[in-house]
Each structure stands twice: as structure tokens, then as C-alpha cells.
Structure 1
């Protein structure tokens, strides 16, 4: 898993291809029949920072994935391959921090006072290291 940008020594420029976003994506309502775990993941996904980047197709994919997860959880005979496939699909939605780092997406909480102090400490630490080298 790549390090966070403030932990990397080299900061190579990365090429990013940008395109126009579609219309504002409406978040579908969760299905009442979903397994509680799928429902919990869906609810967390709707509140997560990366969801602001989701298009309508991403929400449709997530909806389908929660349906698949519910079917998997409801089945008494579970396949390890099916679970691996579901977890692999979760990576495409950037659900975990590791997935987001690999996609070079970092989410930061709004901790203004704490972050300002941390940023100042980090800057001074960089100066100290640069002076030592």
C-alpha cells in the first residue's frame, strides 16, 4: 500500500486525465431486504468522503454489490471464491483507506486546530531533516 503523501519522500508528478462529470448523482434508497451487514456498509458508504466523487453508475454498481453481498450472507453454503469476488469489487468503490491510497485519493477530516499544529510540526520536521542531510 502506498504511503500517504505527507509520508513520501519523492513526490513524482502524476498524470491525471480529467473528464466532465455527469449530472448530480442521486443516492438510491437501501433495500429493506438486504442483510444487516450489507445495509451497514451501504449506510457507511453514503456518509463516506469518497462518495462525493461517485457518479450514478457508481451508485448503481454499489447497489448491485450490496444485493450480491446480501445473497451471499443469506446462503447457508458459502463459497470462498464468491466472497473474494465481492471483496474485489469493493476495491473499485475505494471503500478502504488502502484502496484509496492506491488510487492516490486521501481524505482528511476537518480538524482545523489540530491540523494546523500538525502541519506546522511537519514543516519544521522537514526543515530539520533537510538541514541534517
Structure 2
């Protein structure tokens, strides 16, 4: 399906996994993640641009961001700041900015279109046998 088209359902909402549907999707090519340095937001940016940029740092899709993604996010937030501060706004400029933010997978719909789903962290559970052994150790004073 790719980047365009309707937003796909979440994997957990499907009757069977996409891998079993026999689609002609090719496997992704893999590369090496590099060390990332996140630039600081410009203190002169509009408050909405700062809020969006800072939210990217704590969002799940940031796990996939590399330096080029952060550079694009910085440039887009700079443009967004100029747009928000300007007295004259254009619908075309807004559409262009929001479309470009889609390339950074800012919304859930953007992520689902490229098959990225962020999951709730799993709660750590301790098995009954581990708890029982810990109880026995405590009773024995070990």
C-alpha cells in the first residue's frame, strides 16, 4: 500500500497477519543505525513550533530518527515558526508543512501507512515459581 491511500488497520485488528495474506510486499532492506545528535530548538521559534519539536524527542517514532530526520524536523519547525508568526498565512503553505511533517511519521496514520505501530510498554510480570522461590528464601533467611 505504501505512503498514500487509506490508513491501514492496526495489525492486531486484522483477522490474520499481513505476512500470511500473500501480498507482493517486499521485505525492507536493512541498514546500520548511527549515533544521533538532536539539535536544540531555536528559542525564538513560535511556541507551537517549539512544542511540536520537543514532542518529537519523546515520541515513539523518534526511535527510528537519524541525524537527517532531526535536521528535517528542525528545518520544518523553523518554517512552521515563520508561518505562525507571519501576519499573512496561506493554505498552500500550511498544507505543504503538514505534508512534510507526515514524512517524519508525526501522526499515527502516517506511521500505520508505513507499517509502524507503537505499542504500550509491556508490564513486567514475575512468574509464580520465581515468587515462590523468593518467598522460600525469605522464610529461610537467605
Aligned to 2:13: 7
**In 1, distance between residues paired with 2:54 and 2:114?**
22
The 5 Å alignment of 1:31-46 reads 31-46=42-57
Aligned to 2:35: 24
> Deviation per CA, 1:62-116, whole angstroms, max 9, x where unpaired?
0000000001001101000000000000100001111111010000121527xxx
Equivalent pairs counted in the alignment come to 113
* Cα pair 1:21 1:55 within 8 Å, conserved: no
Indicate whether 1:77 and 2:83 are aligned: no
- When the two chains are superposed, the root-mean-square deviation of aligned CA atoms in Å is 1.4
Gaps (5+ residues) in structure 2? 1-6, 20-24, 125-142
Determine which structure has greater relative contact order: mean sequence separation of CA pairs < 8 Å that are 6+ residues apart, divided by chain length. 2
In the superposition, the TM-score normalised over structure 1's length comes to 0.79
**In 2, distance between residues paired with 1:22 and 1:3?**
28
Aligned to 1:61: 72
Greater fraction of residues in helix: 1
Gaps (5+ residues) in structure 1? 114-133
